[in-house]
Amino acid sequence: DAKTTQPPSMDCAEGRAANLPCNHSTISGNEYVYWYRQIHSQGPQYIIHGLKNNETNEMASLIITEDRKSSTLILPHATLRDTAVYYCIVRVGSGNTGKLIFGQGTTLQVKP
């Protein structure tokens, strides 16, 4: 079973920041939090990942709480092309095992 809990759906106005929450209260100390998104009929696309420090890249920012029990993905200026299903994933196992356990994800609808 997935180790994360996400709201099933969210709306965001175009140009505004989209803040997607994720709970992972049973995360272990060496497990990373990954975010992927999936646009209809395409494969999941990597967004960002982190262990305990906040991370930022060209796509998004990841804020992880100090107790690591939850995190928030921030899309700073959402566009219509950001409409997708967003998956928060805790990576099981050490190193590169390739096994990601996906939950149901959050469907983000960006509206004009």
Partner 1 sequence: DAGVTQSPTHLIKTRGQQVTLRCSPKSGHDTVSWYQQALGQGPQFIFQYYEEEERQRGNFPDRFSGHQFPNYSSELNVNALLLGDSALYLCASSSRGGRNEKLFFGSGTQLSVL
Residues that bind partner 1 (CB under 8 A): 2, 32, 34, 41-46, 49, 87, 91, 95-105
Measured from the CB atom, is 54 or 77 closer to partner 1? 54
Measured from the CB atom, is 29 or 43 closer to partner 1? 43
- The least CB distance from residue 93 to partner 1, in Å, is 8
The 3-state DSSP class for residue 49 equals strand
Report the alpha-carbon distance of residue 83 to residue 75 in Å, rounded: 11
- The least CB distance from residue 51 to partner 1, in Å, is 8
Contact by Cβ (8 Å): 7, 105: no
- The least CB distance from residue 44 to partner 1, in Å, is 5
Contact by Cβ (8 Å): 105, 86: yes
